[in-house]
């Protein structure tokens, strides 16, 4: 979360997002282990699929941003002109 707030590089923001999703999945799996149920692991698999879809679209956007502006600074694209 700190990485998402502090860094202005889009690649670091995506990596911090992965860490946050991973932390949420860790909480689910630990809860499943505590109660002896398999439901938390199922939710972790859903989080895994969501992270895969999110990172593919995010990295495609990152390459588009890099080829258009030559940088990865997300402050460059804070002025959207529609």
Distance CA 9, CA 71 (A): 9
Question: 52-56: long-range contacts (C-beta < 8 A, 24 or more apart)?
Answer: 54/17, 54/21, 55/14, 55/18
Residue selected from 37, 69, 73, 77 as contacting other proteins according to rule CB under 8 A:
37
- Count the neighbouring beta carbons within 10 Å of the beta carbon of residue 23: 11
Rounded least distance, CB 76 to other proteins, Å = 15
Rounded least distance, CB 78 to other proteins, Å = 20
Q: How distant, in Å, are the alpha carbons of 49, 57, 78 from that of 81?
A: 33, 22, 9
The reply on whether position 15 binds other proteins by CB under 8 A is yes
The reply on whether position 44 binds other proteins by CB under 8 A is yes
Interface residues with other proteins (CB under 8 A)? 2-3, 6-7, 9, 11-12, 14-16, 18-19, 22, 26, 29-30, 32-34, 36-39, 41-42, 44-46, 48-57, 59-64, 66-68, 72
């Amino acid at each position: 979360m700190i990485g998402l707030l502090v860094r202005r590089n889009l690649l670091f923001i995506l990596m911090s997002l992965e860490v946050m999703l991973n932390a949420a999945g860790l909480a689910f799996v630990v809860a499943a282990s505590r109660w002896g149920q398999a439901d938390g692991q199922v939710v972790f698999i859903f989080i895994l699929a969501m992270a895969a879809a999110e990172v593919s679209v995010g990295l495609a956007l990152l390459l588009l941003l890099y080829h258009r502006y030559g940088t990865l600074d997300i402050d460059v694209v804070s002025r959207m002109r529609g």
